[in-house]
Amino acid sequence: MTFKEQIESDVLQVFLNDDEFAERMDVRYDGAVYADIPVVLSENLQTPSPTLTMGRAARERGNLGGVHVASTVAHLAERDFPVVPEAGQWIEFRDGEAAYDEYWRRYRIVKSDAEMGMLILELEAFDE
């Protein structure tokens, strides 16, 4: 087995193993839904959003109206997601149901990389 084959095996059998780290989710990107694929979402800290304020005076006072930017990193196998998502686009992860309707968490892609069989997406969403 080559080093590259070993890395791909580790990505799929260890890191993206849904018995260990990953959760199986439906992912929606660019009009297509990729069903029941293993995804690792690493939620990061929420930081106040300097772009969503009530104007310059509010920004200077630090009054952001309770809106924060939630940063997340998503890891997916390249074999499960045949396109490399583009920065600036939107991606959604199905997160169960709410009020008898599907609920999708929506993120803007900040950065997108493909390395050794894995897609690594830096994401952000506005949160209250």
pLDDT digits (tens, 9 = 90+) for 50-109: 554 445 555 455 555 566 678 899 999 998 988 899 999 999 999 776 666 778 889 999
> 35 is written with which tokens?
């069903």
Q: How is residue 103 written in tokens?
A: 């609920």
Q: For residues 64 and 18, is the Cβ–Cβ distance under 8 A? A: no
Q: Walk me through the domains of the chain, giving residue ranges and CATH numbers.
A: 3-127 (2.40.10)
Query: Taking a C-beta distance cutoff of 8 angstroms, is the pair 53, 64 a contact?
Result: yes
pTM of the model: 0.75
Distance CA 50, CA 128 (A): 14
For 11-63, the pLDDT digits (tens) are: 777 788 888 888 999 999 999 999 999 999 987 755 555 554 445 555 455 55
Furthest CA-CA distance within the chain:
61
